[in-house]
Amino acid sequence: MSAELKVPAATALRSSAVALQGFGVKRALLMTPVDDKLKDLYRDYLAQFGVEAVYPPQTLRAHTDAQKLSSAEVESMTKNCFTEQPGVDGIYFQGALLDPLKVLDKLEADLEAPIVASNPAMLWFVLSKLGLRYEIAGYGRLLRSWLRLPS
C-alpha cells in the first residue's frame, strides 16, 4: 500500500507485527475477539515476522462479548491467559474492542512482558516512518520508550 501511495501507511496488523518483532517477541499471546478463521489468518501473517501466535483456549469468540468487559476484567482475563501459556514472551491485542489501554502499563509491569495494542502500534509505526519520535507515557512501553523501527 505504501509503495503505491508514495506515503507512509499503517495497518493494525503490520504495525503490531513490526512492534512485536522490534521487542524480540517470538511467542505472543494473541488477545482478540474473533472467530477461528480470522485467528488463522492472523497466525499466518505474524509467522512471516517470526512471531508465533498463541491463542488462549477460553477466550472471547465475538466482538459483542468484548464490548461488555470492564478494564479490570480485561486485565484479569489477560493475566490468567498469560500465566496459562508457558513460553509466551509478549502479548498482542488486535483491534480496539478488547481495549487494554487503561491497564496496559500495569499489565506490562505485572507480567514483565511487552504488550502491543494495535491502535498505539499504528500511531508509533506511521510517525516513525515519518521520522518522528515521541515519548508518550501511560500507554505502554512501545509509546513510552518509542521503540526504533527494526531494519
Alpha-carbon span 2 to 67, nearest angstrom: 32
Residue position matching grid coordinates 488463522: 40
Could you tell me which residues come within 8 angstroms of residue 59 by beta carbon, excluding any fewer than 6 positions away? Answer: 31, 32, 33, 77, 81
pLDDT at 88 over 80: yes
- The span from the CA of 68 to the CA of 39, in Å, is 21
In whole angstroms, give the CA distance from residue 7 to residue 5: 5
Q: How much is the pLDDT for 34?
A: 81
The pLDDT value given to residue 10: 86
Where does the pLDDT of residue 60 fall: very low under 50, low under 70, confident under 90, or very high at 90 and above? low
The alpha helices in 1-151, defined as continuous H runs, are 2-5, 12-22, 36-47, 63-67, 71-83, 104-111, 118-129, 141-145
- Residue 13: other Cβ atoms inside 10 A: 19
Which CATH code for domain 10-145?
Answer: 3.40.50.12500
What are the extents of the domains in the chain?
A: 10-145
* pLDDT recorded at residue 61: 58
CA–CA gap between residue 15 and residue 10 (Å, rounded)? 6
Whether the predicted model's global pTM rises above the 0.85 cut: yes
pLDDT in tens, 6-55: 777 889 999 999 999 999 999 999 998 887 888 899 999 999 999 999 98
